[in-house]
Each structure stands twice: as structure tokens, then as C-alpha cells.
Structure 1
Amino acid sequence: MTAHHYAVSVDQLASMDTILSMSGLDFMRAIIRGELAGPPIGQTLGFKPVAADEGTVTFEGTPEFGTMNPIGTVHGGWYGTILDSCMACAVQTMLKPGQIYTTLEYKINILRPIPVGLSVHAVGKVQHVGRSTGVSNGEVRGVEDGKLYATGSTTCIVMDGPKR
């Protein structure tokens, strides 16, 4: 997977009115179907959402040379970003039209280095979503080898979107 397969520009991002008119699950599914632009951070780091159901989202990614740190392994920020994305988007799938969210905090545990060029799935699963917070966990596993490379947890704030 290379970045140019799903490149987006700022004028292609969904408007706040569009975002607020949809449930979080419908919004995520529209991105996966290509009806709405995907997250630009995925373009930069080489990952994208590939599946969404109520309470769970899967991202697929392949860390390439540009994600490496000076010692030749995938930078911890790549693990953190793909985990933050899948875990927070899992919370998003539980939101009603008119609601938005953002990450309050997240934690990751890197268990082993991902080999550069290995495709992984990062799966976020909701533990709880209430009126003001959402909590979810995530795992990064190799697509080909099934090995567990990292885990994470997040707490998100859930809010009413801006009034238009």
C-alpha cells in the first residue's frame, strides 16, 4: 500500500455539517467505501481504515522506510498513531448524529518490532461509550504472521458538535 492510493487534499475533507449529519458508524463506513475522504495522517504514515462495525474499527497499514527511527526500527509514534486511530474511531462508531469526539489520552505497549514492509491490522474495540466519555482498547497484529506487535487503550471525550 502506498500513500498515493488514497491521497486527499484539505478541500476534499468532509465539512462539519456533513460530519454532524451522520452517525459515527455511517461516517466511518463512507470513508471506507471512498465516498468521503480518509484521514490525511494515514496518507502520511501509510495506513487507512478498512472495516467498521458498531464498536469496532480495523485499520490496515504497512510501515515503510520513512517510519523508521535512527536505529533502524519502526518509530514508536507509528504504533501510537495507528492505535490512536483505530481505538478512537471505534468510539466514533458509537456516536449519534450531532456528536463529535477527540482523544483525551492513550497508552500503548510495544511488544516487538514490526518489520518494515510487514502489513498489519490495528483493531480498536469499544469497552464503554457514555454521554461524555468513550473507552476502547486496541491491538496491532501482523496480517501474514498473526503476531501481536502492540496493544493500547484510550479515553475519548464525547461532545455535542458545534451549533450551526
Structure 2
Amino acid sequence: MSDPQPHVAQTLDDLPDMADLLSRTGLEFMQDVLAGKLSGPPIGATMGFHLAHVEPGRVVFEGTPDFTVTNPMRGVHGGWYGAILDSCMACAVMTTLPKGQIYTTLEYKVNITRAVPLGTRMEAVGEVSHAGRRTGVATGELRGVDDGKLYATASTTCLVMDANP
């Protein structure tokens, strides 16, 4: 696994633009984010996770939930599980796209199997099950890095679209 990206977008102008997207395959785009050639998404910095590994059809994010993502019952909010799992699954779909295509999450589902203790280093792995012309389907797992326990599973369907330059 790699270290967090050295550059995370601070403004909309820092984010990759459509030209950055259209000049690369989805895999190349994700590899360039991992390498720090393109800025990483601010949601990761906000919620305490980062891109850690990219290969065709498989993406890994790592993160450690802290106090800022707790709910009123002192636990990790379900939105944290959803954000890191949506990220790894959708980005896995991204790795299958040719130049000129983009995607958006159409729907996702998360099944939380146990509570993540604050400060526990986690790994979210997204793997593509189907990469079609108009849809991509992926599954995800959230596991503790040190204990290997399964904390959540997920699935997603992404809509694949031709980009308008």
C-alpha cells in the first residue's frame, strides 16, 4: 500500500478538469491520482481516508475514523462506511473505462457487520463484477488492517456515460 496522495484539492480549480479525465483511460486517471500527478478528492481528507492501491478492476482505500465522524451514540457514523466503500467500488469501476467515458454512482448498498472502533485503521477493497457498455457493478469489503475482521460489505451499480468534451 502507498502513502496518502501528496496533493489534495483545496478548491474547485485544484480538481482535475474534463481534459485531465478525457486524455486518460480510467485506469490511467486513477494511477495518476495515486501517484500524486492529479489531486486527490477532498472528501477523503475530510473523512480520513485515501487511495492506497490501484489495479485493473480493483481499488483499495485506507482510512482511520476519528472523532469528527462520530454519531450521537459515540460510534462511527454509517456515512463514513458508505463514503469509503462507495469510493473504492466506484473507483474500481473507473479503472475499466476507456478514454472518453465517465461514470457516476447510480446506487449503492452497505451492510454493516460490526462497529468500527475509533482510531482503527481500515482497508476498503472494491472489485468489479461487471464492466459493461452502460453499467458497471462492483462489490466492496471493509476490513480492519490489523485484525483482518470484516466490518462491512457493499455493492454498487455505476452508470457509464460518454463524456461531452
- Per the shorter chain, which TM-score range? over 0.9
Partner of 1:114: 116
Partner of 2:132: 130
* Residues 79-158 of structure 1 aligned to structure 2 (within 5 Å): 79-158=81-160
Q: Report the CA distance between 1:40 and its aligned residue.
A: 1.1
Q: Secondary structure at the match of 1:141?
A: strand
Distance (Å, rounded) in 2 between the aligned partners of 1:77 and 1:6:
24
In structure 2, relative to structure 1, the CA distance for the partners of 1:14 and 1:40 (3 Å cut) is same
**Which residue identity lines up with residue 8 of structure 1 in the other structure?**
A
For structure 2, the residue ranges without an aligned partner over 5 or more in a row are none
Counterpart contact for 2:8–2:41, Cα < 8 Å = no
Give per-residue Cα distances to partners, 1:47-99, cap 9 Å, x unaligned.
11110100000000110000000001000000001000000000000000100
Partner of 1:39: 41
**Which residue identity lines up with residue 17 of structure 1 in the other structure?**
A
Identical counterparts, % of pairs: 57
**Which residue identity lines up with residue 65 of structure 1 in the other structure?**
F
Partner of 1:19: 21
Q: Report the CA distance between 1:6 and its aligned residue.
A: 4.8
For structure 1, the residue ranges without an aligned partner over 5 or more in a row are none
Distance (Å, rounded) in 2 between the aligned partners of 1:43 and 1:13:
14
Q: Report the CA distance between 1:8 and its aligned residue.
A: 2.0
